[in-house]
Amino acid sequence: MSAFEITPIGAVRSGYRACDEIPPGGGAAQLEIFEPFAEGLLGIELSSHLIVVGLFHQADRSRLTARPKRADPEAAPRGVFGTRSPARPNPLGVTVVPLLRREGLRLFVDHLDMLDGTPIVDLKSYSPGWDSVFCATRERRARASVLEPALLASLLERGLENHLGKAAAHSPEARLGLAAVFVAVRYFGVDARDPALSVTSNRCDASTDALLGTMGASFSECRLHIRPEEGPLTLRFEYEGCALVLRSRKNGVAAEPGRWAESFEAKVEAKAPSSEERDEKPAA
């Protein structure tokens, strides 16, 4: 197949000059659109979120396999077409970001995982009903058991914000549900969306939304159950015959993810499987 050219429509403006400077969940940035493409922005403010297609101009194009070196250096390599690694033959990056506001030819966004100066190839309006696949699953390369607390928390928080929106995702109830999923995932060492992981709650509020958003769980697949009961939020997580019961304390959720376990009284009703019994299943 013959080569072809792509003309950038703009460039990313951010404070990130190297990949290790970008927060795990992406960061604030501006999309500067070049003047010849100004008319293409007509009506873009009608979308709350955008799909940004960028060219990773500093990426290694010779790589066909990759591993999450920062998150889990011991993970087995995987073909780049089955990962989100920036290193690939045609390093196009696709990410969904919230559009905060527009000022002329500049679009202010958040959660962008692209370096300063990254050429923007295209912009598209994100369609919730068309682009969202809530039931999608993927076996992540990095294991939950080795992830730094802040990194695991950022992965779960991104899913929660995508599900509820930033404001609602930071309500006390939603944060409590998020913290509980974090504790359960680290205890069992599995991905939050693992089909074998289920939860029973005594509440039906924003904490339930957090379970839905972070676990991808639903009532129809019997991964989420509600059994109304008075008292503090109580969640029973089950995985392959093992159970972890978390009962919320009155101290709320700490700012540091490493202290989120302090938000609950924990009771183990069956021993969690060892890493050998789980066959070191990737989880995040």
Q: Which amino acid is it at 169?
A: A
What's the average model confidence in pLDDT over 81-88? 85
**What pLDDT, on the 0 to 100 scale, is given for residue 140?**
65
The 10s digit of each residue's pLDDT in 203-215 is 999 999 999 999 9
- C-alpha to C-alpha distances, 3 to 31, 80, 186, nearest whole angstrom: 27, 21, 46
**What residues form DSSP beta bridges with 266?**
246
127 and 154 together in one domain: no
207 and 253 together in one domain: yes
The 10s digit of each residue's pLDDT in 108-125 is 999 999 999 999 999 999
Give domain status of residue 237, yes or no. Answer: yes
What's the average model confidence in pLDDT over 146-164? 87
Give domain status of residue 47, yes or no. Answer: yes
The residue count for the chain: 284
Among the candidates 131, 161, 191, a domain finishes at 131
Tokens of 183: 């504790």
Average predicted confidence (pLDDT) for the chain: 88
The 10s digit of each residue's pLDDT in 190-238 is 889 999 999 999 999 999 999 999 998 888 888 999 999 999 999 999 9
Q: Exposed, middle or buried, 99 (CB in 10 Å: 0-12/13-18/19+)?
A: buried
171 and 119 together in one domain: no
207 and 234 together in one domain: yes
**What pLDDT, on the 0 to 100 scale, is given for residue 22?**
87
**What pLDDT, on the 0 to 100 scale, is given for residue 4?**
81
CA distance 56 to 120: 9
On whether the CB atoms of residues 137 and 179 are closer than 8 A, the answer is no
102 and 214 together in one domain: no
pLDDT tops 50 at residue 281 = no
Give domain status of residue 39, yes or no. Answer: yes
The 10s digit of each residue's pLDDT in 243-262 is 999 999 988 899 899 999 99
109 and 201 together in one domain: no
Query: Phi/psi zone of residue 218: left (φ > 0), alpha (ψ -120 to 50 degrees), beta?
Result: beta
Contacts of 270 (CB under 8 A, 6+ apart): 241, 242, 243
Among the candidates 131, 162, 191, a domain finishes at 131
pLDDT bucket at 144, cuts 50 / 70 / 90: low
What's the average model confidence in pLDDT over 85-95? 89
pLDDT bucket at 23, cuts 50 / 70 / 90: confident
pLDDT tops 60 at residue 274 = no
Higher pLDDT, 25 or 139: 25
159 and 262 together in one domain: yes
pLDDT tops 60 at residue 275 = no
- E strands in the chain: 10-13, 27-33, 49-55, 65-66, 78-79, 92-103, 106-112, 119-125, 197-201, 224-226, 234-239, 242-248, 264-268
Domain that holds residue 148: 144-268
Give domain status of residue 66, yes or no. Answer: no
pLDDT bucket at 142, cuts 50 / 70 / 90: low
230 and 188 together in one domain: yes
pLDDT tops 50 at residue 273 = yes
Helices (H) and strands (E) in the chain, counts: 5, 13
Structural domains counted in the chain: 2
Give domain status of residue 67, yes or no. Answer: no
**What pLDDT, on the 0 to 100 scale, is given for residue 5?**
86
Q: Which amino acid is it at 28?
A: A
23 and 108 together in one domain: yes
Give domain status of residue 262, yes or no. Answer: yes
Give domain status of residue 61, yes or no. Answer: no
Of 105, 139, 128, 134, the closest CA to residue 32 belongs to 105
pLDDT bucket at 24, cuts 50 / 70 / 90: confident
On whether the CB atoms of residues 50 and 107 are closer than 8 A, the answer is yes
CATH number for position 200: 3.30.1330.20
pLDDT bucket at 277, cuts 50 / 70 / 90: low
Q: Which element (helix H / strand E) includes 174? A: helix 172-188
249 and 197 together in one domain: yes
Give domain status of residue 50, yes or no. Answer: yes
Among the candidates 77, 102, 131, a domain finishes at 131
96 and 203 together in one domain: no
CA distance 198 to 240: 10
CATH number for position 27: 2.40.30.70
106 and 222 together in one domain: no
**What pLDDT, on the 0 to 100 scale, is given for residue 63?**
86
Please give the share of the chain, as a percent, with pLDDT higher than 70.
90
CA distance 213 to 200: 15
